[in-house]
Amino acid sequence: MSDARRTWHPGEIVPESGIYECDCGEGHHWSTDVKGHRFPPTPAGCTGSAWAMKTDAHPKP
């Protein structure tokens, strides 16, 4: 991942395509985002406030 940050907030631009998980700690809120798009809001009723990458869509060898 080219960006050294660990989390991004809803509305920020997605740095790398992949699967992102909400930071609520429940491990069940996922978002698949495309580089250049904006992150969506966290799910309704969720206590999280940011997204963290779980799986890079284009891992580097």
Q: Which residue has the tokens 């869509």?
A: 57
Quote the pLDDT of residue 60: 77
End-to-end C-alpha distance for the chain, whole angstroms: 12
Quote the pLDDT of residue 3: 57
| pTM flag (> 0.75) | yes
**What order do you get walking across the sheet with 30-33 strand by strand?**
30-33, 18-22, 51-56
- 1 near 7, Cβ under 8 Å? no
Q: CA 17, CA 15: separation in Å to the nearest integer?
A: 7
Per-residue pLDDT of the chain (61 residues; tens, 9 = 90+): 455 679 999 999 999 999 999 999 887 778 888 999 999 998 888 999 999 999 888 887 7
